A and B are shown apart, each in its own frame.
Chain A
Amino acid sequence: MIVELGHFAVILAFCVAVVQMTLPMIGAQRRDGALMALAGPAATAQFLLIAVAFGALTYAFVTDDFSLRLVVNNSNTLQPMLYKVAGVWGNHEGSLLLWVLDLSFFGACAHWFGGNLPAALKARVLAVQAAIGVAFLAFMLLTSNPFWRLDSPPMNGQDMNPLLQDPGLAFHPPFLYLGYVGLSMAFSFAVAALIEGRVDAAWGRWVRPWTLLAWVFLTIGIAMGSWWAYYELGWGGFWFWDPVENASFMPWLIATALLHSAIVVEKREALKAWTILLAILAFGFSLIGTFIVRSGVITSVHSFANDPERGVFILLILAVFMGGALTLFAARAGALEAKGVFAMVSRESALVANNLLLTVAAFVVFVGTIWPLVAEIVMGRALSVGAPFFDAAFTPFMAALAVILPIGAVMPWKRADLAKSARAFRAAAVLAVALGLLIYAVQTGRSALGPVGVMLAVWVVLGAGLDLLNCTGRGDFSTRTARLRRLPRGDWGKAVAHGGFGILIFGVAAMSTWVTEDIRVVQKGGSYDLGPYQVQLVAVTEVQGPNYTARRAEMRVTRGGAQIATMYPEKRAYPVAGMATTEAAIRQSVAGDLYLVIGDPQDGGGWAVRSYIKPFADWLWGGALLMALGGMLSLSDRRYRIAAAATRRRRMAVAAE
C-alpha cells in the first residue's frame, strides 16, 4: 500500500510539475501576478510529493519488500541496514528518483530563500526548473519506474553490487547528484534571464551561491568516489579516466569556470553572455554525464543498440533542453549589453584566461570520452581512449592554470600593473622553483612530474597565503594579524580553496611519482622488506561477515625492530551476488599510506601479497576537501546575506511609499 502511495505521489508530482512549468511562465509574460505566484507553492508541493515517493521506496527497501522488482534486484535480507538504505539509490531507477528529489529540492529552495527575487524572474526560474522535472519524471514513469511490482515475489533478493557495499560509496551518489542537479539552478536562472533579456550584477549575486553550493557538493562527491576507488579496487589508483568519472568531472570543470565568471558579472557587469553560456553548458554536461552513465553508450555502442529506449529518451531530453537554451542564447545574447570595461592586464582578463583553460580542459575530456564512439561511427575504427591520453592531453591545461592562478587572484579589477602584481610573488616563485630543482636532483628516477608538481603546488599554496596577507593592507605585524582575523569569509574561502588546489596538485604528483610497489609470494610467517618497513604475514584466517565470507590476513609491520602496526587486509566473497571484493588494509599518515592487499593462495604454498607505500596520498583528498571547505566558507560570507537584506529593504521602502 505504501509503495502504491509512493507511485501515486510520483504521478501527482508530474502533474504539479506540468502546472508549474506552464502557468507561471504565461503569468510572467502577461504580468499576471496570480499566475506567477502559483510557482512557489507548486515547487514546494512537487518537492513534498517526491519526498513521499522517496520515503516509500526507502520503506520498501528497509522492510525487504520483495514484491518490488527493484528491491529484489538490489537488496537482500542479510544486507546490513546501511546498505539496504543505500540500495535505494544504488541502481538506475532509484538513482533517478534521487535525481528528481534533488531537482525538486533545489526548486523549492529557490522559492523558500528567493523572497528577494523579482516576481517575474522567480516565476520563470521555477517554470524552467519544473520543465526539467517534467522531463525526468516522464522518463522515470515511462522507462524506469522504481515502483514496479512482481506477480510472484521471490523469498529473498539478489543483493546489491558488493563493490557498492561500502560506506564511501553509499554516500557518494547523493553528493554527486546534489552537485549535478544543483547546476540546474544556474541553468534555470540563465534561461530565465535570457527570456527577460536582462543580466545584471544582481543576477550574478543570485546565481553565484547556487553554483557554489552545487560545486561544493560536486567536489565532495568526486573526492569520495576517488577515495573509494583508492581503497576498494585493491591497487591504490585514484583516478581512472573512466567515462563515468569523466561524466562527473566535466560538469565540475565547467562549474568551476562558471563560478569565476559569475564573479565578473557580479562585480563588474562584464562577461555576461559568456557566463550565461557557461551556466547552460554546466548543466548540459550534467545531462551528458547522466546520458553516458545511464545509456551505456560509451561502454559499447552495441549495448546501447540492444536497449535503446532509455538512451534515446535522455538524448531527447538533452536535445530539447540544450537545443532550446542554446537557440534562445543565440537569439538573445546580443541584447545583453556589457557595461564594465577593463584593460588587457586586469583581474577580469585573468579570469578570462582561467575560464579559457578550464573550458578547454573540459572540452578535451569530452572529446576523449566520446572519441571511441565518433571513431566507430565516422571512421569505422574500433579504438580506445584511456588514461595515457588524458594524462597527456589534460594535465598541461591544469599546469597552466596553476601557473597563472596566484598572480591573477591578486590583480586589481579593471586595470592592473603586471610587474607590480608580480613583485610580491618574486620570493614565492624563487622558492617554488628552488624546491622543484632540489627534488629533481635528489629523486632517484628522472621523472619531471614530481618536481614540476611540487613546484606548482608550492607556488599555488604560497600564492594563496600571500593573497590573504595582501588583503590585510599595510601596517605593522599585529594590526595586520588582527585584520586577518576580521577578513570577510569570502576572502578566506578564496584562499582556502586555492590553497586546497595546490595541495591536491602536490598529492597527485607525489602519489603518482614516488610510489613504492611490491608484489610477491609470502609464506605464512614469512616477512619481507618494504621501503623502511619490514612486513610479516602472521596468519591467514577465514572470517564470517553478515552477507559475505572473508579471508583475512594478519600482517605485522615493524620498522627497525619496533612494531608499528598490525594490519588486516581482507578478500571478501559475496555468495548471493557471486562476486569478490578486496578490502585493502591502509595505515594512513601525513607522510603517506601503507597499503596492503592479500591475494590468493599460490600453487607452491604461501599467498600472493601486494604492498604499496603511497607517499602523501591523503594530501590529495585533503586538498579536495579544502577546496570544498573554501566553497562553504565563501557561501557563509555575510556579504551574500547583506546584499539580500539590502534588496529586501529597498523593496519594502518602495512598497511603503
Chain B
Amino acid sequence: MRWVFVAWLLMAGPVFAVLPAEMLPDPVMEARARAISQELRCLVCRNESIDDSDAGLAHDLRVLLRERLLAGDTDAAAVAFIVDRYGEFVLLRPTTAGGNLLLWLAGPLMVLGGGVVAVAMVRRRSRDAEAEALSVEDQARLAELLQK
C-alpha cells in the first residue's frame, strides 16, 4: 500500500488553501491580500474563494494578487487587474453595475413592498378591531361595575 500513498503524495499537489511559502512577510500587506482573496472566486472550483481553494489556479491567483500588492497597487487596482484578465466571473461580490442593481435592491425593495402591503392589511384589520371595541357608554358601565 505504501507505493500508492507515495504516488498519491506526488500527484496530489498542494493541499492547503494559503500556503506558508505564498505569504508576504509584511503582516499588514498579507492581511490585505487575505481580505481581497476572500472575495475572489477560484475559477475552476465550485463556489470557492481563492483563499479557501487548494486548486492550482487559486494558488496562481493568490501569487498574482500578492505581486500586484507588492508592486504598489491599491486594493481596488489589484482587483481591477485580475477582473481585466479573468472577467467579472471572478468576483464573488457582484458589482452593482447594470442589471445587477436589481440583485442588490431585491431585498430592500421586497421588504418595502411587503411592508406597505402588510401595514395596509393590518390597518384594515385594526379598523375592524376598533369597530369591535367598547363604546363610551359600555366603558362607563364597565368602570361602574369594576368599582363595585
Contacts and interface: CB of A to CB of B under 8 A. Distances in A.
B126 A343 contact: yes
A349 interface: yes
**Most A Cβ at <10 Å: residue of B12, B94, B128:** B94
Contacts of A386: 39, 41, 47, 49, 92-93
A383 B89 CA distance: 4
Chain B contact residues (Cβ within 8 angstroms of A): what range? 35 or more
A299 interface: yes
A404 interface: no
A482 interface: no
B70 interface: no
A393 B104 contact: yes
B68 to A, nearest CB: 19
Contacts of A580: 8, 12, 15
A384 interface: yes
Given A237-B52, A388-B92, A519 B47 contact: no
Contacts of B88: 381-383
**Most B Cβ at <10 Å: residue of A357, A601, A610:** A610
Contacts of B18: 519
Interface in A56-103: none
A602 B16 CA distance: 12
B98 interface: yes
A487 interface: no
Given A242-B46, A344-B123, A608-B20, A387 B92 contact: yes
B9 A519 contact: no
A519 B93 contact: no
Interface of A: 234-235, 237, 240-243, 270, 299, 338, 341-344, 348-349, 352-353, 356-357, 359-361, 363-364, 367-368, 371, 375, 378-379, 381-389, 392-394, 396-397, 414-415, 519-521, 542, 544, 549, 551, 571, 573, 575, 578, 580, 582, 597, 599-602, 608, 610
**Most B Cβ at <10 Å: residue of A237, A519, A601:** A519
24 contacts: A235-B17, A241-B47, A338-B125, A343-B130, A364-B110, A367-B106, A371-B103, A375-B99, A379-B99, A382-B87, A382-B88, A384-B91, A384-B94, A386-B47, A386-B49, A387-B49, A388-B38, A393-B104, A393-B106, A396-B107, A415-B129, A519-B18, A551-B5, A600-B16
A5 to B, nearest CB: 38
Contact of A353 (B46, B93, B118): B118
A384 B91 CA distance: 6
- Does more than half of chain A's interface fall in helix, strand or loop, or is it mixed? mixed
Given A242-B46, A381-B88, A393-B107, A356 B114 contact: yes
B89 A384 contact: yes
B5 A549 contact: yes
A44 to B, nearest CB: 41
Nearest to B97: A381
Interface in B39-93: 39, 41, 46-49, 52, 87-93
A394 B93 CA distance: 13
Nearest to B19: A608
**Most B Cβ at <10 Å: residue of A359, A361, A381, A544:** A381
Contacts of B118: 349, 352-353, 356
Contact of A341 (B4, B19, B132): B132
A270 B103 contact: no
